[in-house]
Amino acid sequence: MRIRLIIGISAAALALAACGGGYGSDGSSTAADGAAAAEADDKAATTVSEAETDLGTVLVDAEGLTLYALTDDSDGVSSCDDGCADAWPPLTVADADLPAGLDPNLFSVAERSDGTFQLNAGKWPLYRYVGDAAPGDTNGQGSGGVWFVVAPDGSLIKGDAAAAPATSDSTY
């Protein structure tokens, strides 16, 4: 019984340590702090930028990971669910509103079958690929003949040769 209690306390301590503590300097947090942090996380998660890869200039997420489109998607609606979405996580946003700072002439939001909202570039819902471990990776390019990186104008880059480099990185 005593060993179980010690294991339980140890597990709880590890779980609390993994949470990283509170938001304030005194270790406590308020609902306002939590809401502000969640809002900041949502904004960071929806940032889309351009970056150079071996395929040329492509759209990337907030962590610099390459964004892809699935040619099986139509009319801006995702057809990638369940196991597909495990391998190709959709770039989701908090709600149906286009995140601030994104060009409404290029970006839009569509509701997924699970009720979440996915960011689109042009007519393409955006995805990451679990096989990309670092910024600049394009391991999903051409996968199954249906997955391709997305250019800054919302078009697909279907080749494997590098395009002309851009002069600078930019954020939308």
pLDDT in tens, 43-102: 444 589 999 999 999 999 999 999 999 999 999 999 999 999 999 999 999 999 999 899
Radius of gyration from C-alpha coordinates of the chain: 20
3-state secondary structure of 118: strand
Strand bridging mode 92-93 / 117-121: antiparallel
- Are the CB atoms for 56 and 165 separated by under 8 Å? yes
Average pLDDT estimate for 22-30? 36
How confident is the model over 135-153, as pLDDT tens digits? 999 999 999 999 999 999 9
Report the alpha-carbon distance of residue 47 to residue 29 in Å, rounded.
Answer: 26
